[in-house]
């Protein structure tokens, strides 16, 4: 597959790009500073651009088979109005529809959308104080994706950690199972790439945690 990774320069996006290449896929790595990525491969193309500029996204998307969307903001932006997730998603969805790219795996987080009800009573207030603005926009992002005609999966990781793949990630599909927990970025990326070509989690919003 030709996989476009939006937000490929670090974190989960970087791991998705690395693992997808190792699995034999061709990768288009999109980020503001994509050419600074410490990753090189004959099947890797780097696209520096802005997820909020349509022509930048279209240039990277044309000819792709699937998109992995991993957007993030800086910690200092958590206490400002946040629109990145929803605005970038509106642009991406319109372009995917126009160009005929149907497979989307998007990463939001535990606490977005209807998973917010699974936050524990002692988590809710500090979560809202720190992450409320960002997660309100992630919820808008999810709503846009769910309303689309794409073959989407929304991945909602718990508390992100660095580290290698543990092989112990748990995918919680049903609301009764949903809970928070830690999970490595590599574990998340492994599951995203593993299920990019199958239909197991199409139109699902699983939580992913290690324990």
Measured CA to CA, the distance from residue 167 to residue 175 in angstroms comes to 23
Q: pLDDT tens for residues 183-207? A: 999 999 999 999 999 999 999 999 9
Residues contacting 135, CB < 8 A, separation 6+: 109, 111, 112, 116, 127
- What does pTM read for this prediction? 0.94
Tell me whether strands 170-172 and 207-209 are parallel, antiparallel or unpaired: antiparallel
Class of CATH domain 2-209 = alpha beta
Tally Cβ neighbours within 10 Å of residue 132.
Answer: 17
Q: Which two tokens stand for residue 166?
A: 């543990």
Cβ atoms of 111 and 132 within 8 Å: the answer is no
Q: pLDDT tens for residues 15-32? A: 999 999 999 999 999 999
Q: What are the residue boundaries of the structural domains of the chain, listed by start?
A: 2-209
Measuring CA to CA, how many Å separate 156 from each of 53, 107, 141, 143, 151? 26, 6, 12, 14, 17
Indicate the average pLDDT of the chain: 95
């Amino acid at each position: 597959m030709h996989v476009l990774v939006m937000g490929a320069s670090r974190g989960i996006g970087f791991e998705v790009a690395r693992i997808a290449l190792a699995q034999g896929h061709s990768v288009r790595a999109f980020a503001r500073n994509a050419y600074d990525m410490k990753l090189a491969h004959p099947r890797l193309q780097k696209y520096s651009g802005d997820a909020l500029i349509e022509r930048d996204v279209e240039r990277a998307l044309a000819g792709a088979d699937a998109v992995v969307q991993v957007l993030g903001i800086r910690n200092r932006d958590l206490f400002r109005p946040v629109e990145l997730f929803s605005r970038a998603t509106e642009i991406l969805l319109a372009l995917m529809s126009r160009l005929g790219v149907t497979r989307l795996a998007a990463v939001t987080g535990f606490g977005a959308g209807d998973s917010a009800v699974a936050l524990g009573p002692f988590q809710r207030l500090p979560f809202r104080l720190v992450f409320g603005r960002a997660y309100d926009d992630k919820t808008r992002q999810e709503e846009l994706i769910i309303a689309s005609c794409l073959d989407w999966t929304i991945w909602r990781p718990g508390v992100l950690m660095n580290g290698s793949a543990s092989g112990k990630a748990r995918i919680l599909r049903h609301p009764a199972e949903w809970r928070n927990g830690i999970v490595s970025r590599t574990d998340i990326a492994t599951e995203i790439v593993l299920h990019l070509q199958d239909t197991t989690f199409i139109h699902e919003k699983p939580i992913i945690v290690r324990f």
